[in-house]
Amino acid sequence: MSVNGFTTDLIHADRRAGTEHGAVHQPLHPSSEYAFKDARELAAVFQGKSGFSYARQGTPTTAALERKITHMEQGIGSVSFASGMAAISAVFLTLLRQGDHLICSKYIFGNTNSVLGTLQQFGVEVSLVDATDVEQVKAAKKTNTRMVFVETISNPGTWLADLAGIGQWCTEQGLLYVVDNTLSGPYLAPAKDFQASLVVNSLSKSIGGHGHALGGTVTDTGLFDWAHYPNIAEAYRTGNSQNWGLTQIKKKGLRDMGAALASDAAHRLAVGAETLSLRMRQVCDNAMALAQYLQQQPQVVRVYYPGLASHPQHQRASDYFKQRYGGLLAVELHPDIDVFDFLNRLKVLALSTHLGDNRSLVLPVAHTIYYEMGAQQRAVMGIADNLLRISVGIEETEDLIGDFAQALGAYRL
Protein backbone atom coordinates (compact mmCIF):
# COMPACT_ATOMS: atom_id res chain seq x y z
CA MET A 1 0.00 0.00 0.00
CA SER A 2 2.77 2.41 0.88
CA VAL A 3 6.35 2.67 2.07
CA ASN A 4 5.42 4.04 5.49
CA GLY A 5 5.21 2.09 8.74
CA PHE A 6 2.37 0.17 10.31
CA THR A 7 0.84 3.05 12.27
CA THR A 8 1.65 5.98 9.94
CA ASP A 9 -0.46 4.65 7.10
CA LEU A 10 -3.14 3.40 9.46
CA ILE A 11 -3.86 6.79 11.03
CA HIS A 12 -3.71 8.76 7.77
CA ALA A 13 -5.71 6.24 5.74
CA ASP A 14 -9.12 7.93 6.06
CA ARG A 15 -8.24 11.42 4.84
CA ARG A 16 -5.98 10.05 2.10
CA ALA A 17 -8.91 8.04 0.74
CA GLY A 18 -10.81 11.36 0.49
CA THR A 19 -13.24 12.57 3.14
CA GLU A 20 -15.72 15.47 3.08
CA HIS A 21 -14.62 18.86 4.50
CA GLY A 22 -11.12 17.56 5.18
CA ALA A 23 -12.39 15.36 8.01
CA VAL A 24 -9.49 13.31 9.39
CA HIS A 25 -11.85 10.44 10.25
CA GLN A 26 -14.06 8.66 7.77
CA PRO A 27 -17.51 10.03 8.70
CA LEU A 28 -20.01 7.60 10.17
CA HIS A 29 -22.64 6.62 7.60
CA PRO A 30 -25.72 5.10 9.25
CA SER A 31 -27.78 5.04 6.04
CA SER A 32 -29.26 1.61 5.17
CA GLU A 33 -29.77 2.37 1.49
CA TYR A 34 -27.90 4.41 -1.10
CA ALA A 35 -29.65 6.33 -3.90
CA PHE A 36 -28.37 7.20 -7.38
CA LYS A 37 -28.93 10.19 -9.68
CA ASP A 38 -28.53 7.95 -12.74
CA ALA A 39 -30.46 4.70 -13.16
CA ARG A 40 -27.60 3.22 -15.19
CA GLU A 41 -25.26 3.82 -12.28
CA LEU A 42 -27.69 2.01 -9.94
CA ALA A 43 -27.69 -1.01 -12.27
CA ALA A 44 -23.89 -0.89 -12.63
CA VAL A 45 -23.39 -1.21 -8.87
CA PHE A 46 -25.67 -4.26 -8.83
CA GLN A 47 -23.64 -5.70 -11.69
CA GLY A 48 -20.28 -5.51 -9.93
CA LYS A 49 -19.10 -1.88 -10.10
CA SER A 50 -17.72 -0.77 -6.76
CA GLY A 51 -20.22 1.33 -4.80
CA PHE A 52 -22.91 1.07 -2.13
CA SER A 53 -26.50 -0.09 -2.47
CA TYR A 54 -27.71 -1.62 0.80
CA ALA A 55 -25.84 -1.69 4.12
CA ARG A 56 -25.97 -5.48 4.42
CA GLN A 57 -23.24 -5.47 1.75
CA GLY A 58 -21.21 -2.71 3.39
CA THR A 59 -21.16 1.05 3.95
CA PRO A 60 -18.49 3.73 3.44
CA THR A 61 -17.71 3.36 7.16
CA THR A 62 -17.18 -0.42 7.04
CA ALA A 63 -15.18 0.05 3.83
CA ALA A 64 -12.84 2.48 5.63
CA LEU A 65 -12.31 -0.07 8.41
CA GLU A 66 -11.66 -2.80 5.82
CA ARG A 67 -8.97 -0.61 4.20
CA LYS A 68 -7.24 -0.35 7.57
CA ILE A 69 -7.28 -4.08 8.19
CA THR A 70 -6.09 -4.73 4.64
CA HIS A 71 -3.17 -2.37 5.27
CA MET A 72 -2.30 -4.01 8.59
CA GLU A 73 -2.39 -7.50 7.07
CA GLN A 74 -0.62 -6.32 3.87
CA GLY A 75 -3.42 -7.91 1.84
CA ILE A 76 -5.33 -6.99 -1.31
CA GLY A 77 -8.79 -6.60 0.27
CA SER A 78 -10.99 -7.41 3.26
CA VAL A 79 -14.65 -8.09 4.02
CA SER A 80 -16.06 -7.12 7.44
CA PHE A 81 -18.65 -8.99 9.50
CA ALA A 82 -20.65 -8.45 12.68
CA SER A 83 -18.23 -10.62 14.70
CA GLY A 84 -15.19 -12.83 14.34
CA MET A 85 -17.40 -15.92 14.38
CA ALA A 86 -19.49 -14.53 11.50
CA ALA A 87 -16.27 -14.10 9.50
CA ILE A 88 -15.09 -17.65 10.28
CA SER A 89 -18.49 -19.20 9.51
CA ALA A 90 -18.61 -17.31 6.21
CA VAL A 91 -15.19 -18.65 5.17
CA PHE A 92 -16.17 -22.26 5.88
CA LEU A 93 -19.72 -22.14 4.52
CA THR A 94 -18.93 -20.27 1.32
CA LEU A 95 -15.69 -22.00 0.32
CA LEU A 96 -16.32 -25.64 1.30
CA ARG A 97 -18.80 -28.06 -0.23
CA GLN A 98 -20.24 -31.42 0.67
CA GLY A 99 -17.56 -34.09 0.24
CA ASP A 100 -14.65 -31.68 0.82
CA HIS A 101 -12.07 -32.32 3.51
CA LEU A 102 -10.82 -29.69 5.98
CA ILE A 103 -7.64 -30.03 8.05
CA CYS A 104 -7.93 -28.00 11.24
CA SER A 105 -5.73 -27.43 14.27
CA LYS A 106 -7.09 -29.25 17.31
CA TYR A 107 -6.06 -26.35 19.57
CA ILE A 108 -8.82 -24.11 18.33
CA PHE A 109 -11.24 -21.52 19.74
CA GLY A 110 -14.20 -23.40 21.23
CA ASN A 111 -16.87 -21.74 19.10
CA THR A 112 -14.87 -22.42 15.92
CA ASN A 113 -14.69 -26.03 17.01
CA SER A 114 -18.47 -25.98 17.40
CA VAL A 115 -18.87 -24.72 13.81
CA LEU A 116 -16.83 -27.72 12.65
CA GLY A 117 -19.62 -29.92 14.01
CA THR A 118 -22.13 -28.03 11.88
CA LEU A 119 -19.92 -28.49 8.82
CA GLN A 120 -19.78 -32.23 9.44
CA GLN A 121 -23.59 -32.33 9.53
CA PHE A 122 -23.52 -30.85 6.02
CA GLY A 123 -21.10 -33.48 4.76
CA VAL A 124 -17.74 -31.78 5.12
CA GLU A 125 -15.03 -34.09 6.48
CA VAL A 126 -12.86 -32.62 9.24
CA SER A 127 -9.49 -33.86 10.56
CA LEU A 128 -8.19 -32.30 13.76
CA VAL A 129 -4.40 -32.32 14.03
CA ASP A 130 -1.65 -31.01 16.27
CA ALA A 131 -0.65 -28.04 14.12
CA THR A 132 2.47 -27.33 16.18
CA ASP A 133 3.94 -30.13 14.02
CA VAL A 134 3.74 -29.69 10.25
CA GLU A 135 4.24 -33.43 9.73
CA GLN A 136 0.86 -34.10 11.37
CA VAL A 137 -0.78 -31.64 8.99
CA LYS A 138 0.86 -33.30 5.99
CA ALA A 139 -0.16 -36.77 7.18
CA ALA A 140 -3.83 -35.74 7.31
CA LYS A 141 -4.01 -34.82 3.62
CA LYS A 142 -6.51 -36.70 1.46
CA THR A 143 -7.42 -36.42 -2.20
CA ASN A 144 -10.44 -34.25 -1.27
CA THR A 145 -8.55 -31.86 1.06
CA ARG A 146 -9.50 -28.26 0.19
CA MET A 147 -8.51 -26.12 3.14
CA VAL A 148 -6.17 -25.95 6.13
CA PHE A 149 -7.29 -23.79 9.08
CA VAL A 150 -5.09 -22.81 12.05
CA GLU A 151 -4.84 -20.20 14.80
CA THR A 152 -1.54 -18.44 15.50
CA ILE A 153 -1.44 -18.91 19.29
CA SER A 154 -3.84 -21.31 20.98
CA ASN A 155 -6.13 -20.28 23.82
CA PRO A 156 -5.52 -20.99 26.70
CA GLY A 157 -2.49 -23.28 26.17
CA THR A 158 -0.48 -20.66 24.19
CA TRP A 159 0.89 -23.33 21.80
CA LEU A 160 2.21 -21.95 18.51
CA ALA A 161 1.30 -23.61 15.24
CA ASP A 162 4.14 -24.22 12.78
CA LEU A 163 2.68 -21.34 10.81
CA ALA A 164 5.53 -20.94 8.33
CA GLY A 165 6.02 -24.68 7.79
CA ILE A 166 2.32 -25.23 7.13
CA GLY A 167 2.23 -22.19 4.84
CA GLN A 168 5.16 -23.49 2.80
CA TRP A 169 3.54 -26.90 2.44
CA CYS A 170 0.12 -25.45 1.50
CA THR A 171 1.80 -23.30 -1.14
CA GLU A 172 3.55 -26.34 -2.61
CA GLN A 173 0.29 -28.32 -2.57
CA GLY A 174 -1.88 -25.46 -3.85
CA LEU A 175 -4.09 -25.74 -0.75
CA LEU A 176 -6.15 -22.88 0.63
CA TYR A 177 -4.50 -21.84 3.93
CA VAL A 178 -6.67 -19.87 6.37
CA VAL A 179 -5.04 -18.34 9.45
CA ASP A 180 -7.05 -16.95 12.37
CA ASN A 181 -4.64 -14.19 13.44
CA THR A 182 -6.73 -12.97 16.39
CA LEU A 183 -4.45 -14.04 19.23
CA SER A 184 -1.18 -12.50 18.02
CA GLY A 185 -2.62 -9.96 15.58
CA PRO A 186 -1.23 -8.08 12.59
CA TYR A 187 1.08 -5.85 14.61
CA LEU A 188 3.18 -8.81 15.82
CA ALA A 189 3.03 -10.40 12.36
CA PRO A 190 0.71 -10.12 9.35
CA ALA A 191 -0.33 -13.67 8.48
CA LYS A 192 1.03 -13.10 4.97
CA ASP A 193 4.46 -13.65 6.60
CA PHE A 194 3.41 -17.31 6.87
CA GLN A 195 2.02 -17.51 3.30
CA ALA A 196 -1.61 -17.49 4.48
CA SER A 197 -4.17 -17.32 1.66
CA LEU A 198 -6.91 -15.78 3.84
CA VAL A 199 -6.60 -14.14 7.25
CA VAL A 200 -9.38 -13.97 9.81
CA ASN A 201 -9.33 -11.40 12.62
CA SER A 202 -11.79 -10.94 15.43
CA LEU A 203 -11.76 -7.14 15.73
CA SER A 204 -13.59 -7.49 19.05
CA LYS A 205 -10.25 -8.32 20.68
CA SER A 206 -6.95 -6.34 20.45
CA ILE A 207 -7.71 -4.49 17.23
CA GLY A 208 -10.63 -2.65 18.85
CA GLY A 209 -9.06 -2.97 22.29
CA HIS A 210 -11.78 -1.04 24.11
CA GLY A 211 -14.23 -3.90 24.49
CA HIS A 212 -17.29 -1.98 23.34
CA ALA A 213 -17.83 -3.29 19.82
CA LEU A 214 -17.81 -6.69 18.11
CA GLY A 215 -16.54 -7.21 14.58
CA GLY A 216 -14.58 -9.55 12.34
CA THR A 217 -12.81 -9.49 9.00
CA VAL A 218 -11.56 -11.83 6.31
CA THR A 219 -8.54 -10.52 4.39
CA ASP A 220 -7.16 -11.93 1.15
CA THR A 221 -3.34 -11.79 1.07
CA GLY A 222 -3.29 -12.10 -2.71
CA LEU A 223 -1.08 -15.21 -2.55
CA PHE A 224 -3.70 -17.82 -3.48
CA ASP A 225 -4.59 -18.70 -7.06
CA TRP A 226 -8.42 -18.69 -7.12
CA ALA A 227 -8.50 -19.64 -10.80
CA HIS A 228 -7.70 -23.21 -9.72
CA TYR A 229 -10.08 -23.39 -6.75
CA PRO A 230 -13.00 -25.57 -7.85
CA ASN A 231 -15.61 -24.16 -5.43
CA ILE A 232 -15.93 -20.69 -6.96
CA ALA A 233 -19.40 -20.30 -8.50
CA GLU A 234 -19.59 -19.55 -12.22
CA ALA A 235 -21.14 -16.12 -11.51
CA TYR A 236 -18.00 -14.98 -9.67
CA ARG A 237 -15.49 -16.30 -12.20
CA THR A 238 -15.30 -12.97 -14.02
CA GLY A 239 -12.64 -10.26 -14.07
CA ASN A 240 -9.34 -10.51 -12.21
CA SER A 241 -9.17 -13.96 -10.58
CA GLN A 242 -7.41 -12.42 -7.54
CA ASN A 243 -10.80 -11.09 -6.43
CA TRP A 244 -12.87 -14.24 -6.86
CA GLY A 245 -12.48 -15.58 -3.34
CA LEU A 246 -13.46 -12.38 -1.53
CA THR A 247 -16.30 -11.78 -3.99
CA GLN A 248 -17.79 -15.16 -3.17
CA ILE A 249 -17.30 -14.58 0.59
CA LYS A 250 -18.96 -11.17 0.30
CA LYS A 251 -21.93 -12.33 -1.80
CA LYS A 252 -22.60 -15.79 -0.37
CA GLY A 253 -21.37 -15.01 3.14
CA LEU A 254 -22.02 -11.36 4.02
CA ARG A 255 -24.97 -10.61 1.72
CA ASP A 256 -26.83 -13.93 1.98
CA MET A 257 -26.14 -14.87 5.61
CA GLY A 258 -26.60 -11.28 6.72
CA ALA A 259 -24.17 -10.89 9.63
CA ALA A 260 -23.25 -7.37 8.51
CA LEU A 261 -21.17 -5.04 10.66
CA ALA A 262 -23.06 -1.87 11.66
CA SER A 263 -21.43 1.43 10.76
CA ASP A 264 -21.26 2.69 14.33
CA ALA A 265 -19.45 -0.46 15.48
CA ALA A 266 -17.12 -0.20 12.46
CA HIS A 267 -16.32 3.39 13.41
CA ARG A 268 -15.50 2.51 17.01
CA LEU A 269 -13.33 -0.43 15.92
CA ALA A 270 -11.47 1.79 13.45
CA VAL A 271 -10.72 4.35 16.17
CA GLY A 272 -9.48 1.59 18.46
CA ALA A 273 -7.27 0.14 15.72
CA GLU A 274 -5.29 3.38 15.41
CA THR A 275 -3.41 2.66 18.66
CA LEU A 276 -2.85 -1.07 18.15
CA SER A 277 0.95 -0.88 17.98
CA LEU A 278 1.22 1.31 21.12
CA ARG A 279 -1.12 -0.94 23.08
CA MET A 280 0.48 -4.18 21.92
CA ARG A 281 3.91 -3.05 23.06
CA GLN A 282 2.61 -2.29 26.57
CA VAL A 283 0.50 -5.48 26.63
CA CYS A 284 3.44 -7.68 25.61
CA ASP A 285 5.82 -6.01 28.08
CA ASN A 286 3.25 -6.48 30.87
CA ALA A 287 2.61 -10.11 29.95
CA MET A 288 6.32 -10.89 29.86
CA ALA A 289 6.95 -9.26 33.26
CA LEU A 290 3.96 -11.02 34.80
CA ALA A 291 4.97 -14.40 33.35
CA GLN A 292 8.51 -14.03 34.69
CA TYR A 293 7.23 -12.99 38.10
CA LEU A 294 4.63 -15.74 38.37
CA GLN A 295 6.93 -18.58 37.33
CA GLN A 296 9.13 -17.82 40.36
CA GLN A 297 6.31 -18.04 42.93
CA PRO A 298 5.95 -21.21 45.04
CA GLN A 299 2.14 -20.97 44.80
CA VAL A 300 2.35 -21.37 41.00
CA VAL A 301 2.85 -24.81 39.43
CA ARG A 302 3.32 -23.71 35.85
CA VAL A 303 3.13 -20.67 33.58
CA TYR A 304 2.31 -20.99 29.89
CA TYR A 305 3.67 -18.05 27.89
CA PRO A 306 5.59 -18.14 24.58
CA GLY A 307 7.98 -15.47 25.88
CA LEU A 308 9.41 -17.82 28.53
CA ALA A 309 12.47 -19.86 27.55
CA SER A 310 10.72 -22.90 29.05
CA HIS A 311 7.90 -22.71 26.47
CA PRO A 312 8.24 -25.49 23.84
CA GLN A 313 7.79 -23.06 20.93
CA HIS A 314 9.75 -20.15 22.42
CA GLN A 315 12.26 -20.06 19.56
CA ARG A 316 9.50 -20.22 16.96
CA ALA A 317 7.67 -17.34 18.65
CA SER A 318 10.88 -15.28 18.70
CA ASP A 319 11.34 -15.86 14.97
CA TYR A 320 7.73 -15.02 14.11
CA PHE A 321 6.82 -12.12 16.38
CA LYS A 322 9.73 -9.68 16.52
CA GLN A 323 10.75 -10.56 20.09
CA ARG A 324 7.28 -9.90 21.54
CA TYR A 325 4.93 -12.64 22.59
CA GLY A 326 1.35 -11.41 22.88
CA GLY A 327 -0.94 -10.78 25.83
CA LEU A 328 -2.30 -14.26 26.58
CA LEU A 329 -0.99 -16.09 29.62
CA ALA A 330 -2.12 -19.25 31.38
CA VAL A 331 -1.15 -19.95 34.97
CA GLU A 332 -1.68 -23.14 36.94
CA LEU A 333 -1.98 -22.55 40.68
CA HIS A 334 -0.84 -25.02 43.35
CA PRO A 335 -3.55 -27.68 43.86
CA ASP A 336 -3.94 -26.71 47.55
CA ILE A 337 -5.18 -23.25 46.55
CA ASP A 338 -8.93 -22.78 46.09
CA VAL A 339 -9.09 -21.12 42.70
CA PHE A 340 -12.29 -19.20 43.48
CA ASP A 341 -10.96 -17.83 46.79
CA PHE A 342 -7.77 -16.81 45.02
CA LEU A 343 -9.61 -14.97 42.24
CA ASN A 344 -11.80 -13.18 44.76
CA ARG A 345 -8.65 -11.67 46.30
CA LEU A 346 -7.64 -9.90 43.07
CA LYS A 347 -8.37 -6.17 43.14
CA VAL A 348 -7.00 -4.84 39.83
CA LEU A 349 -7.80 -7.56 37.31
CA ALA A 350 -11.43 -7.99 36.25
CA LEU A 351 -12.98 -11.45 36.57
CA SER A 352 -14.25 -11.71 33.02
CA THR A 353 -14.10 -13.63 29.79
CA HIS A 354 -12.88 -11.87 26.61
CA LEU A 355 -9.38 -11.28 25.28
CA GLY A 356 -7.31 -8.37 24.04
CA ASP A 357 -9.07 -5.75 26.13
CA ASN A 358 -7.23 -2.70 27.47
CA ARG A 359 -8.14 -4.01 30.94
CA SER A 360 -6.48 -7.17 32.27
CA LEU A 361 -9.03 -9.97 32.57
CA VAL A 362 -8.79 -13.32 34.32
CA LEU A 363 -10.98 -16.42 34.53
CA PRO A 364 -10.79 -20.02 35.81
CA VAL A 365 -10.65 -22.02 32.57
CA ALA A 366 -12.06 -25.40 33.65
CA HIS A 367 -15.10 -23.84 35.30
CA THR A 368 -16.02 -21.47 32.47
CA ILE A 369 -14.91 -21.65 28.82
CA TYR A 370 -13.98 -25.36 29.08
CA TYR A 371 -16.79 -26.37 31.41
CA GLU A 372 -19.10 -27.71 28.70
CA MET A 373 -16.61 -30.33 27.45
CA GLY A 374 -16.46 -32.22 30.75
CA ALA A 375 -13.66 -33.37 33.08
CA GLN A 376 -12.46 -36.24 30.90
CA GLN A 377 -11.87 -34.13 27.80
CA ARG A 378 -10.25 -31.41 29.93
CA ALA A 379 -7.79 -33.99 31.27
CA VAL A 380 -6.91 -35.04 27.71
CA MET A 381 -6.26 -31.39 26.85
CA GLY A 382 -4.19 -30.77 29.97
CA ILE A 383 -6.63 -28.24 31.42
CA ALA A 384 -6.12 -28.43 35.20
CA ASP A 385 -8.88 -27.35 37.59
CA ASN A 386 -6.56 -24.64 38.93
CA LEU A 387 -5.68 -23.16 35.54
CA LEU A 388 -6.24 -19.41 35.12
CA ARG A 389 -6.33 -17.61 31.82
CA ILE A 390 -5.10 -14.05 31.93
CA SER A 391 -5.67 -11.60 29.10
CA VAL A 392 -3.13 -8.90 29.87
CA GLY A 393 -4.07 -5.24 29.43
CA ILE A 394 -2.27 -1.89 29.35
CA GLU A 395 -2.19 -1.09 33.08
CA GLU A 396 1.11 -0.13 34.72
CA THR A 397 3.21 -3.28 35.10
CA GLU A 398 3.78 -2.86 38.85
CA ASP A 399 0.04 -2.70 39.50
CA LEU A 400 -0.52 -6.08 37.85
CA ILE A 401 2.41 -7.75 39.61
CA GLY A 402 1.36 -6.09 42.89
CA ASP A 403 -2.17 -7.45 42.56
CA PHE A 404 -0.91 -11.01 42.12
CA ALA A 405 1.64 -10.53 44.90
CA GLN A 406 -1.01 -9.52 47.43
CA ALA A 407 -3.37 -12.35 46.42
CA LEU A 408 -0.63 -15.03 46.39
CA GLY A 409 0.64 -13.67 49.72
CA ALA A 410 -2.43 -15.13 51.42
CA TYR A 411 -1.07 -18.64 50.78
CA ARG A 412 2.07 -19.80 52.55
CA LEU A 413 2.97 -23.15 51.01
Binding site for ligand PLP (CB under 6 A): 83-85, 109, 112, 151, 155, 180, 182-183, 202, 204-205, 214, 216, 355
Phi, psi of 85 (to 5 degrees): -65, -35
Angle between helices 110-121 and 84-95 (to 10 degrees): 30
In the bound state with ligand PLP, the residue whose beta carbon lies nearer, of 214 and 394, is: 214
Nearer to ligand PLP, 119 or 407 (CB): 119
Tell me the closest approach of the beta carbon of residue 185 to ligand PLP, in angstroms.
10
- Nearest approach, Cβ of residue 154 and ligand PLP (Å): 8
- Chain centre distance of CA 203: 7
CA nearest to 194, candidates 247, 246, 151? 151
Q: Would you say 320 or 404 has its CB closer to ligand PLP?
A: 320
**Whole-number minimum distance, CB 325 to ligand PLP, in Å?**
16
- Given strand 198-202, what is the order of strands in its sheet? 77-81, 216-220, 198-202, 176-180, 145-151, 101-105, 125-129
Pick the closest to residue 314 from 108, 158, 147, 209 (CA basis). Answer: 158
Shortest distance, position 328 Cβ to ligand PLP, whole Å: 9
Nearer to ligand PLP, 287 or 337 (CB): 287
Query: How many angstroms separate the CA atoms of 322 and 307, rounded?
Result: 11
Q: Which is nearer to ligand PLP, 112 or 243 (CB)?
A: 112
47 Cβ neighbours under 8 A, 6+ residues apart: none
Q: Work out how close the CB of 159 gets to ligand PLP at its nearest, in angstroms, rounded to a whole number.
A: 13
Query: Beta-carbon neighbour count of residue 81 at 10 Å?
Result: 30
Nearer to ligand PLP, 67 or 389 (CB): 389
Give the residue nearest to ligand PLP (CB). 84
Sheet containing strand 328-333, edge to edge, reads 300-304, 328-333, 387-391, 361-364, 350-351
Least separation in angstroms between CB 203 and ligand PLP: 7
